[in-house]
């Protein structure tokens, strides 16, 4: 464990504070993110809304500018210099995703608009051909709407039934309840790896094992996991995996769908158009091999390149080091928030990522977020696109703070000061 000198007046208890891993110093890394030096309402920005979207390092921002300034051309369609250069950069980004997630092959990586589109692709391309009347689809009570609504639509189209893995009051999925749901009618299991509302880390390895014992494929929603912890798809052995570029410190409008090659090869295209065809006539159309048969039309070329640069940046830092540092910061934040009277943390799973939802006795979450914003602190208030979670907990909304590796304990101290100001306003 390394010790890092901290600036005077940082709000820390010691001038030398232990960090989880050698050389991961948020005060240095923050210099890579231009927006973090900005001010909001005359206050230094404290950005604690990383579960909604992360900020972008300069290497990503510059790569977007550089592509449009020097390389802009369509991919796969031209033999001229710019097209070949753009195609190489685009396909290199696919290879970077494959290495980052340790997929078996770059052929298993499909670029989509985000995790949401990836789930919809699997539901409509994989699900519609394999799921019929009275079949069952299993999701969990912790899911984001993006991993509920596509399966509801599929169930409505096919006559299938949606089943739900129960959770407890701490925000933990109940494996015994899951196992009791599995049966011969189960056709797919779709679960989050990390809850966006509560931060709960779900037991995905056991879910995959139990599902595969019965021949049931598993989709993991990794939108909140991939940016904050190591992901090894070959070790996990899930059948599908989705992630969002904008949460991975990359651009908006780009995302990742991983699928095992043998499944993708059997699946029909999700959309039709240019880029994904081999031959078209009015009588018949044949399609390209994977992954290109799922990438109809001109893709987000710059977005894919920017995402590749974001993954290079994360790889340089080391995902294990990021996970360890964020876990230390999470523990510090939970302890600090729990010591404020009248504030209750919502979601106390034994395994959590860097997300804390909380409520206050005296103030509504939207009022809390509004007052914190006046202090320069960005948090999220609402149901966090997880209304079933809120319904189960009997809450209309929570205030949510979510961490990244560029956040500091000093920022947590500022948050606590802001919460105390909220108390003064409403008590």
Catalytic residue ranges: 385
Strand ranges (E), 118-225 = 136-140, 161-165, 186-192, 218-221
Helix-strand-coil split of the chain, %, nearest 5: 45, 20, 40
The helix (H) or strand (E) run that includes residue 127 is none
Give the separation between CA 151 and CA 403, rounded to whole angstroms: 30
Give the separation between CA 242 and CA 257, rounded to whole angstroms: 5
β-bridge partners, 4? 17
Bond from prior residue into 178 cis (ω within 30 degrees of 0): no
3-class DSSP assignment, residue 278: strand
3-class DSSP assignment, residue 427: coil
Give the separation between CA 203 and CA 327, rounded to whole angstroms: 18
Place of tokens 């110093």: 25
Query: Residue 395 burial (CB < 10 Å; 0-12/13-18/19+)?
Result: middle
Query: Residue 117 burial (CB < 10 Å; 0-12/13-18/19+)?
Result: buried
Give the separation between CA 233 and CA 285, rounded to whole angstroms: 33
Give the separation between CA 266 and CA 284, rounded to whole angstroms: 18
Angle between helix 365-374 and helix 409-426 axes, rounded to 10 deg: 120
Find out whether 336 and 416 touch, Cβ atoms under 8 Å: yes
């Amino acid at each position: 464990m390394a010790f890092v000198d901290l600036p005077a007046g940082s709000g820390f208890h010691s001038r030398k504070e232990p960090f989880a891993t050698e050389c991961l110093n948020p005060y240095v890394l923050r210099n890579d993110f231009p927006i973090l030096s900005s001010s909001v309402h005359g206050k230094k920005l404290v950005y604690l809304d990383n579960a909604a979207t992360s900020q972008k390092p300069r290497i990503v921002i510059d790569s977007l500018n550089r592509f449009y300034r020097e390389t802009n051309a369509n991919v796969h369609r031209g033999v001229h210099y710019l097209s070949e250069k753009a195609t190489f950069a685009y396909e290199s980004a696919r290879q970077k995703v494959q290495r980052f997630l340790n997929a078996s092959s770059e052929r298993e990586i499909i670029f989509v608009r985000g995790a949401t589109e990836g789930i919809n692709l699997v539901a409509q391309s994989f699900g519609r051909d394999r799921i019929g009347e009275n079949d069952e689809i299993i999701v969990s009570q912790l899911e984001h709407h993006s991993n509920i609504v596509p399966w509801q639509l599929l169930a409505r189209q096919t006559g299938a039934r949606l089943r739900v893995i129960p959770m407890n009051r701490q925000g933990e999925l109940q494996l015994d309840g899951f196992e009791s749901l599995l049966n011969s009618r189960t056709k797919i299991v779709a679960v989050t790896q990390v809850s966006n509302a509560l931060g709960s880390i779900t037991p995905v390895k056991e879910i995959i094992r139990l599902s595969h014992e019965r021949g049931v494929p598993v989709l993991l929603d990794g939108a909140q996991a991939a940016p904050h912890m190591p992901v090894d798809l070959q070790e996990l052995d899930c059948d599908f995996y989705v992630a969002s570029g904008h949460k991975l410190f990359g651009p908006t409008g780009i995302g990742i769908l991983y699928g095992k090659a043998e499944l993708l090869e059997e699946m029909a295209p999700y959309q039709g158009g240019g880029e994904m065809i081999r031959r078209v006539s009015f009588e018949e159309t044949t399609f390209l091999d994977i992954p290109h048969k799922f990438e109809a039309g001109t893709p987000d070329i710059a977005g894919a390149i920017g995402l590749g640069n974001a993954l290079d940046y994360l790889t340089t830092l080391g995902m294990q080091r990021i996970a360890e540092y964020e876990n230390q910061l999470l523990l510090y934040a939970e302890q600090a928030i729990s010591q404020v009277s009248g504030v209750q943390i919502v979601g106390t799973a034994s395994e959590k990522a860097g997300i804390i939802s909380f409520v206050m006795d005296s103030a509504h979450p939207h009022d809390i977020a509004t007052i914190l914003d006046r202090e320069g602190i960005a948090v999220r208030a609402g149901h966090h696109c997880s209304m079933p979670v809120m319904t189960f907990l009997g809450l209309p909304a929570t205030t949510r703070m979510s961490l990244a590796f560029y956040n500091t304990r000093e920022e947590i101290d500022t948050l606590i000061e802001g919460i105390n100001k909220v108390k003064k306003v409403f008590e």
